[in-house]
Amino acid sequence: MTSLDITPRSTTVAPSPVGPGGVVPSDATTLDIAEQLARERTLELEQEIAAEPGRFRVLTGDRPTGRLHIGHLFGTVANRVRLQGLGVETFVVIADYQVIADRDNGGDLAQACVDLVIDHLAAGIDPARSTIFQHSAVPELHQLMLPFLSLVTVAELERNPTVKAELAATGGRAMSGLLLTYPVHQAADILACRGTVVPVGRDQLPHLETTRLVARRFNARYGAGTLAEPEALLSETPLVLGLDGTKMSKSAGNAIALTATPDEIARAVRGARTDAERTITYEPERRPYVANLLRLASFAGAGTPEQVAAQIGGQGAGALKALLTETLVESLAPVRERAALLRDDRAQVAAVLREGNERARTEATATLAQVRTAMRMVV
């Protein structure tokens, strides 16, 4: 599953001026500069959110390509729950249309959407305070994509490095029109719901700039102030790696599902990669695999990585794995229990998604009306 944050894939457009919201062209040096600016602005945004959470609206989401795992929980979902708790209005999109951007068959998307809703609810998303909606159930959102596509060039889309990377990952298949226009589709997600902040990691800053670019160009062409430019809320959580030290992915077999049983968690952790040194120390550069397990234990509530390392000391990797297993089993137990209850109450899950779809359609309809009015299309 790819987080859209919105999650989930980074996108890049032609270079544009770096501003407070994190304008990011593709080269690494400029990305470093943009990250620093975005981090500084994030500190200000966090203070503003704490003082006046009602002024902000978050748009984030995931593609329904599998169940949520601990990488999603520690990397994005926990932050969504945190913002929800602060009082920030939060929209979570289940981006089912984007599943078919780079594959011929999305599988049982209806069931995948239901599973993703269950996982979010089990992880703490409260439908009374947050809106979960299905991409394909909001036609007004996709109608907005048409005028937004007129604001970007084919050349800008073709040189988008994320589009190129996703195409390469398909094994040489021809690029679909949906994959080519994927960044603009995500811009429509954010702007349709009038998101003001988007939680992202460093690599997703260029993606958010696509949305800001669309908003700027629309306002310049049709009327200043029609569309707000959302800002990046840069995540403090580093990339959550899998048990083998590479990108966490269900397909790679290095992830632990949020609903994993204690036995499944123990079996996965036993197979985690470490090194030959017995004394456990937190040295990310020299001992990346051990450092990764220490970070996972820290994310699950065992203390800082340094504290966990000091606790294990000379007891070796086996003791570290035992502690990580115990911590994950304990921290995931409430999630697993809530998910089991929700699986037995499909009517509640369907009601949550139905109400979320209606709420998202209301927002997207209002945005579409603003856009059509600004474009002088309303008869």
Q: Please check whether residues 177 and 312 belong to one and the same domain.
A: no
Domain presence at residue 8: no
Closest C-alpha among 32, 5, 24 to residue 197: 5
Domain tally for the chain? 2
Question: Which tokens in the block code for residue 332?
Answer: 């995931």
Q: What's the rounded Cα separation, in Å, for the pair 67 and 257? A: 7
When pLDDT is averaged across residues 178-189 and rounded to a whole number, the result is 91
Domain presence at residue 249: no
Using one digit for the tens of pLDDT, what is the confidence trace for 225-236? 999 999 999 877
Q: Please check whether residues 169 and 119 belong to one and the same domain.
A: yes
Q: Please check whether residues 71 and 159 belong to one and the same domain.
A: yes
Q: Please check whether residues 320 and 183 belong to one and the same domain.
A: no
Q: Please check whether residues 68 and 192 belong to one and the same domain.
A: yes
Domain presence at residue 16: no
Distant-in-sequence, close-in-space partners of 362: CB < 8 Å, separation ≥ 6 = none
Q: What's the rounded Cα separation, in Å, for the pair 372 and 369? A: 5
The number of beta carbons lying within 10 Å of the beta carbon of residue 152 is 20
pLDDT attached to residue 2: 42
For residue 30, name the pLDDT band (cuts at 50, 70, 90).
low
Query: From the CA atom positions of the chain, what is the Rg in Å?
Result: 21
Using one digit for the tens of pLDDT, what is the confidence trace for 163-180? 777 777 777 788 889 888
Q: Please check whether residues 52 and 196 belong to one and the same domain.
A: yes
CB 90 within 8 A of CB 129: yes
Alpha carbon of residue 359 to chain centroid: 21
Cβ-in-10-Å burial (0-12, 13-18, 19+) of 253 comes to exposed
Report the predicted TM-score, pTM, of the whole model to 2 decimal places.
0.87
Q: Please check whether residues 130 and 45 belong to one and the same domain.
A: yes
Which residue range is the domain that position 288 belongs to? 262-343
Q: Please check whether residues 339 and 363 belong to one and the same domain.
A: no
User: Percent helix, strand and coil across the chain, each rounded to 5?
Assistant: 55, 10, 35
- CATH code of the domain containing 316: 1.10.240.10
Q: Please check whether residues 149 and 127 belong to one and the same domain.
A: yes
Q: Please check whether residues 228 and 316 belong to one and the same domain.
A: no
Percent of the chain with pLDDT over 70: 91
Domain presence at residue 18: no
Using one digit for the tens of pLDDT, what is the confidence trace for 333-371? 999 999 999 999 999 999 999 999 999 999 999 999 999
Q: Please check whether residues 52 and 79 belong to one and the same domain.
A: yes
Distant-in-sequence, close-in-space partners of 253: CB < 8 Å, separation ≥ 6 = none
